[in-house]
Every structure is written in C-alpha cells, then in structure tokens.
Amino acid sequence: MIRILVLFLGALAFAQTENTALRSMEESKAAVTAYLKRCARRITDRAATEIRTREQWERVRARRLEEMRDMLGLLPWPERTPLNIRITNTLDKSSYVIENIAFESVPKFYVTANLYLPKNHPGKAPAVIYVCGHAMEPHGSKAAYQRHGISLAKNGYAAMIIDPIQIAETFGVHHGIYSQEMYDWYSRGYTPAGVEVWNAMRAIDYLETRPEIDVDRIGMTGRSGGAAMTWFTAAVDPRVKVAAPVMGISTYAANVQLNTQRGHCDCMFTINASLHDMMHQGALIAPRPLLMAHGKLDNLFPVPGYEEFEAKVGGLYSSYGERAGFRNIVVETGHQDSDFLREEVIRWFDRYLMRIPERKLDMDYSNAAPESLAVFPAGPPDDAQNYRIQDTFLPTPQLQRYANQAAWETHRAGVLQTLRSKVFAAFPEMPVDLTVRRVSPEPPRRDQELDFESEEGIMVRTVYRRHEKPGKHPALLYVASDGEDARSIDAVFRSIAPRMVVYPRGVGEIPWPKSFWKDTLRNAMHVGHTVDSMRLWDVMCAVQVLRLQDDVDPGRIMVVGRGVSGALGLYAAVLDPQIHQVTLIDPPVTHVQGPIFLNVLRYLDLPEAAAMIAPRHLNFYARIPKEFESARQVFQLYGKPENLFLTMNFDKILAGRYDHRFASGL
C-alpha cells in the first residue's frame, strides 16, 4: 500500500511538472506572437511616416535604396560577366516570332526564356520583361504564361518571358525555408528574390543589345512571384520605366497579423535586416508609373494590407504630382490571373510606355505546344550550376591571418559595427531598464526563480542559486537548451554558486512545436529578427540581471551553453565586452548548423566569432573542434594563445584556474 501511494504521489508530481512546462510553452507562444505583431506594426507605421511627403521621402531615399539592394544580396552589384547568349530555336507565327533563348546571369547559371518579337513593327519596339509566378510546367513557367507574351507581341511590344529558379528547365530551389529545411538561407543572407532580380536585370542588359528594342522604353510585369520580382527590380533598377505587378503587395503589419507567410515562397521577401516595410518598394518606384492589381478573396495579400499600401503610396505619388500614374485594380477573385487583368496591364503600358491613345487591342491567343518553347529540349548543359546558387551567390569570407594586433583590431571593429547594423539592427540599445520579478520565495531558500521582461511582453525565466558566503563571487550563467530540466543542469553544475540558468523565450522542458518555430522564424525575419537572435537578446539581458545580484562579481561572469545555446553565449560576449569568459559544450562549427542570424555568414562564421572575444578566455568543454583552431592565431597576436583553452572542470575555470595540475579529488 505504501509503495502504491509513493508511485501515485510521484506520478502526480510528474503530471504537475509537465502541466507547468506545457503552460509555460503555450504562454511563450502567445507572447512571442503578440510581440512580432507589435514589431511589424511599428515598422509599417515608420515607413508610412517616411513616405508621407516627397520631401520627407527624398531625405532617406538613397539610404533605403542601398538597403534594399543589400537585403536582396545585390550590394555591391555582382560582376556583369559575359551573358553567353544561346538562341536555340525560332518559331515563326503569323504576326510575331518567338526566340528560345538562354543566357548566363552569372557564370554557369542558365536562365531560360522566350523572346516574343512583333513582326513588321515600325521603328524600335518598346519591351516588357514578364516574370513568371509558380506555374508547374516541365518546360518552365514561361510555357504556362505564354499568353502574356503573345498578347504583348500582337499589340506591338517585344516581350521576354523569363523562367524563375524553381520552375525552369534547369533545376534550382525557391522553397529552401518554405518547405526544404534550408534554414541557413537566413544566415547566408540569401533570398532567391536577389537572384531573380539579377536575372531580370541581365535580361534588360541583353535587350539593350538588340537593334529591334527601344532601350528607353522598358516595362516590367508579372503575377504572384512575378509580381514580387517586378516590385523588387523596378525598385532597384531605374531602367524599368513602367511597372505593373499583379497580386501582389501588402504591409508587414498585415502579413504578420494574419500569418500569411505560411502560403508564401521565399522569393517573395528580402532578408529584412534593415527593417523595411513593403511600402518602401512602392516608394522606391515612385514617381514612375505603377499599376498594381489585387483580388478581394486572395488570402496571400490581405485586403487591409493592400488598402493601407494604396493609401500611403498613393499619397506619395500625389506629393510628386503624379497621382494619375499610380493605380490599384481590385477584382472579385482570389489569387488568380484573368483576361481582364492581362488587358488592363497592356492598356497601362500603352498609356505610359507607348504613350498612345486608348485603342482596340488584339487579345486573342493560341498557345504553342509547351515543348516547342523549351530552350534545352535535350536537357540543360552538363555544367549548369543552378542547383548550387544558394551556396555561391553570397560567399562567406574566411578568417584571414593578420600581421599584428592593430590590424586585427581594425578589422574586428569593422565587423562588430557590421554585426550591429546589418545582423542585429532590430536590437534595442543596451543597457535596458530591466524589471526583475521574484517568483519563488525570498531567501533563505537557495534556488530562486527570477523572471524579467527583456522586451515588451516577453517574460524570461531564470533560476538563480545564491552563494552561501558573503561577498562578491565569480558567477556562471548557463543558457538552457530545449528539453533540459533543472535536475539535469544541476547534475553538471551542482557545486557552483552564484549560478543563473536562463531559459530564453520559447526554450523549456517542452519546446515549441516545429511548425510554430518555423512560423515564428519566418515572421521574425519580417521584423529583422530570427528565433535565435531574439534568444540572444534574452541572454544579453540575463547577463545584465546577473550583474545586479549582490553576491556576484560583475567583472567575473562566465557564460556557458551547449550546442547552439553555447553559440548564443559566444555572441553575447562578442557584443558585450564586459563578459569575462565563455565556455562552449559541443558547439556547432558553422552557422550553417546554427545559430540562425540574419546575414551573419556574409560577414563571418563561428571560428571568427570565437576570435572576436580574444584575448578573453574562450573555453571548450571536453574537446576543441578543429574548425576553431584557426581562432588561436588571433589569441597569439595578444600573446595569449593559451586563452583558447580545453577544460573538463567548470569549478576551476570559474575560479580562474587554467591548467590541469590539480588532484581529481579536490
């Protein structure tokens, strides 16, 4: 009977613990969702203020243009390497011809396209770049959108229809984060939108070489993913004189509120490290003529989003004195193309690209066999590297050797400034005014739960163990990982005090479900964050809370973590030079493995981050991965190569003992 009672009480305690962990996880989900919605609303409101008048916008326009290019991965511009044009076939139709064309936008990245040319056109023809959405077609999306090329050519326009990366004749990936678990794209600062914009710009480069084309009259249009590429390309390339993106645009406030990212390909977004709103895309096109179209039933581009966009960007066009050159057509459909919109786009080009009166248009079309539009009917070139573009478009710099300490420190200062402005720009200014709430009873209880608000609405849990003796003592901050419970942590650090364990937002014995984590990651990107960068901020705030404890020596804090959590501790020390030392347990060796920070791999990888804290102590528990040995050269510049240290005893290094000459029993 006693045994049954003990088992029952144990099961009851376990259930209560599990219920507490589950409740904590659900509360953190609600808090972070509300937080991201507030951030998105602030970004949209700030953009609306910037574009309120022509004068206000022109003060920041050049900076915002540079940021837009940077967030597409196009700052600086890639090298304009030879296009190596191939025209593999020509189809002769009654009033137009179609050329099947391939070009290399970067070496060995093959862009497949169809160029529709009107026959018997007097003089040079205006040209339109048509960028496709995600229409499944084995011969490329261009075959599914050929009606647009036909209609444009029959009405006097040269039209070049370009295959997107994802649905082309040569395999490539658009959906890396959306559905293919390639979360390192955010760390690489890679968005397929950047490559698609570059492909469109290189297509314009080619059209400028064709004697049939009036290079001063180039327009651009497309639907869905093609609309996004039209927005981005027209925003950064002034050669696009008239733009007509169809379905769609929104605001980040509306998108995050309704979680629309769930339906969007990665190509629809820049890496929003500079905290733009989608309004900036329209503002960068202004005052050039801009037609957009939306469907009331289109869940991808919610009505409140495009209505707010229309009101604010329309106001900017009015301020330029060009309100007639901005229009939004709203139709009673979902996310779909239509003959009506196809005709309206051509009429817009007639008005602003051809500059002719309204006329009767020839909108009849007869599609060619899709296989006849294939550029490589026998298959793409063997040397095609389209499938690798996400790894090669934005290479990661490697840690270099520096001649002396001064040269390294100059480089380090530049990297640190870049991290703050292009990786962690969404961080508030440090230090922040932190309100700490004691959840568990006052002393004499040794372990206390101290919660603090790291940002509005974000409560971060910590468990703090005081030192039993008076005075100031070196302290340890442990960054918990998903699934770690108090008992498992205490087994490793039982003898250490003062000690704080921090559970950054979403970290707990019961972690966020993967689907929620992914939704949060994508929505966080919209507001300049990732899940890991938000957690890094919580760690940095926890260091600040730990410093305030009366038994802690604030100059002797060691941050410890396992895996990605350890790397968060490393970056806390990179950004906070007052952290005394860091200890890593089984760390990742590259940001490809984590943590995920926007753009970070454009500037450095984890071995260089390790070097950034030299000459402070960087300790590795149990083993030093060989990839981190390159950082020792930087410690050597300070005459401290031994400060990159292998340990198996946390007590000793916390106390300042960096050797192995002590008895195991002490």
Dump pLDDT digits (tens) for 463-501: 999 999 999 999 999 999 999 998 999 999 999 999 999
One domain, residues 309 and 437:
no
- Residue 558, φ and ψ in degrees, nearest 5: -110, 130
- 313, 232: one domain: yes
What secondary structure does DSSP assign to 14-33, as a single string? HHHHHHHHHHHHHHHHHHHH
> For the residues 113-129, what does the mean pLDDT come to?
95
pLDDT tens column, 506-522: 999 999 999 999 999 99
DSSP string for residues in 456-499: TTEEEEEEEE--SSSS-EEEEEEE--TT--HHHHHHHHTT--SE
What does the pLDDT read at residue 445? 63
pLDDT given at position 2: 55
pLDDT score of 443: 54
- The alpha carbons of the chain give a radius of gyration, in whole angstroms, of 29
11, pLDDT greater than 70: no
Task: Tell me: do 266 and 168 sit in the same domain.
Answer: yes
Sequence length of the chain is: 666
C-alpha to C-alpha distance for 516 and 597, rounded to whole angstroms: 18
**What is the pLDDT averaged over residues 449-454?**
94
Task: Give the pLDDT band (50/70/90) at residue 1.
Answer: low
In a domain? residue 382: no
Selection from 547, 584, 578, 579 nearest residue 565 by Cα: 584
CB 200, CB 128: distance < 8 Å: no
Residue 339 lies in a domain: yes
pLDDT at 190: 98
Question: What is the C-alpha to C-alpha distance for residues 231 and 248, in angstroms, rounded to an integer?
Answer: 9
Distances (CA, A) of 422 to 40, 63, 251, 504, 554: 18, 13, 21, 22, 29
Q: Is residue 155's pLDDT more than 70?
A: yes
Strand order across the beta sheet in which 213-223 lies = 86-92, 96-106, 109-118, 158-162, 125-131, 213-223, 242-246, 290-295, 326-331
CATH of the domain at 221: 3.40.50.1820
- Whether residue 202 is found in the same domain as residue 289: yes
State whether 330 and 429 are in the same domain: no
Task: Give yes or no for a contact between 188 and 601, defined as CB atoms under 8 angstroms apart.
Answer: yes
Residue with tokens 């991290």: 419
Question: How far is the CA of 638 from the CAs of 76, 554, 571, 574, 613, in angstroms?
Answer: 34, 24, 20, 17, 11
Q: What is the mean pLDDT of residues 401-408?
A: 97
Is 664 a domain residue? no
| Adjacent-strand bridge partners of 113 | 101, 162
For residue 48, pLDDT beyond 90: yes
Summarised one tens digit per residue, pLDDT across range 579-611 is 999 999 999 999 999 999 999 999 999 999 999
For the cut 50, the answer to whether the pLDDT of residue 7 exceeds it is no
Contact between 102 and 222 under an 8 Å Cβ cutoff? The reply is no
Indicate whether 370 belongs to any domain: no
Helix axes 192-207, 225-236, angle to 10 degrees: 70
Among the three residues 333, 363, 393, which one is the final residue of a domain in this structure?
363
Q: Tell me the pLDDT band of 3, cut-offs 50, 70 and 90.
A: low
Torsion of CA 275, 277, 279, 283, to 10 degrees: 10
Position 662 scores a pLDDT of 87
410 in any annotated domain: no
Domain match, 111 and 204 both? yes
Q: Does residue 393 lie within any of the structural domains?
A: no
Report helix angle 564-575 to 531-547, nearest 10: 60
Angle at alpha carbon of residue 607, lines to 186 and 610, rounded to 5°: 105
pLDDT for the residue 4: 52
- For residues 489 and 613, membership in a common domain is answered with yes
Kindly state whether residue 371 falls inside one of the protein's structural domains: no
pLDDT tens, position by position, 310-347: 999 999 999 999 999 999 999 999 999 999 999 999 99
Q: How far apart are CA 278 and CA 526, in angstroms?
A: 10
Q: Please tell me the pTM assigned to this model.
A: 0.94
Does 413 map to a domain?
no
Other Cβ atoms less than 10 A from the Cβ of 144: the count is 20
625-656, pLDDT tens digit by residue?
A: 999 999 999 999 999 999 999 999 999 999 99
Does 210 lie in the same domain as 92? yes
> Which of the listed residues 363, 383, 402 is the one where a domain comes to its end?
363
Two tokens at 144? 């599914």
Mean of pLDDT values over 294-311: 96
pLDDT tens, 166-199? 899 999 999 999 999 999 999 999 999 999 999 9
What is the DSSP track for 234-266? HHH-TT--EEEEES----HHHHHHHTGGGG--G
- pLDDT, mean over the chain: 94
> Are 319 and 427 contained in the same domain?
no
**What is the model's pLDDT at position 435?**
81
Per-residue pLDDT, 20:
84
Residues 197-207 have pLDDT tens digits of 999 999 999 99
Task: Give SS3 for 593.
Answer: coil
Strand segments (E) across 71-185: 86-92, 96-106, 109-118, 125-131, 158-162
Q: Are residues 349 and 450 in the same domain?
A: no
Task: State percent of the chain over pLDDT 90.
Answer: 90
Among 324, 339, 363, the domain boundary falls at 363
Average pLDDT over residues 242-252: 96
Domain limits for position 505: 418-654
282 and 429 housed in the same domain: no
pLDDT at 8: 45
CA–CA separation, 273 and 419 (whole Å): 11
Together in a domain, 92 and 213? yes
| Structural domain total, the chain | 2
